[in-house]
Amino acid sequence: MAKKPTPASKAPAPKTPARSNTNAPAAKAASPAPVSTPVRNSAVPKPQTAAAKAAPTFEAISKRAYEIWQSGTGGSEHDNWVRAERELRGS
């Protein structure tokens, strides 16, 4: 008569998994997450000075002077031009 297999002989022996990357760090035991503060990854922008701002172009000034004239709140052509320059330069 044939010998019946026992439960221990049915299961293959456990194998250890092969490590693909021998330089990888071993898994660490569960530890609490470190407490950290947010990090700024970009440079702090420098404030623009009057010299650093680009001067308004002739076209931009003339367009704004025309808008002032159309609004009816302007004065002479020269006054509208000076007002437009002042508004566009922010002073």
* Structural domain includes residue 77: yes
Report the domain count for the chain: 1
pTM for the full predicted model: 0.43
Q: In this structure, is residue 16 part of a structural domain?
A: no
Q: Has residue 72 been placed in a domain?
A: yes
Decide if 40 is inside a domain: no
Structural domain includes residue 79: yes
Q: Is residue 68 part of a domain?
A: yes
User: Residue 27 in contact with residue 50, Cβ under 8 Å?
Assistant: no
Ordered per-residue pLDDT tens for the chain, 91 residues: 666 666 655 556 666 666 656 565 666 666 677 677 777 677 777 776 655 567 899 999 999 999 999 998 889 999 999 999 999 998 7
Question: Residue 6: how many CA atoms within 13 Å on its side-chain side?
Answer: 2
Look at residue 71 and tell me if it is in a domain: yes
* Structural domain containing residue 62: 54-91
Amino acid identity of 79?
D
Distance from C-alpha of 79 to C-alpha of 68, rounded to nearest angstrom:
10
Judge contact between 49 and 37, C-beta under 8 A.
no
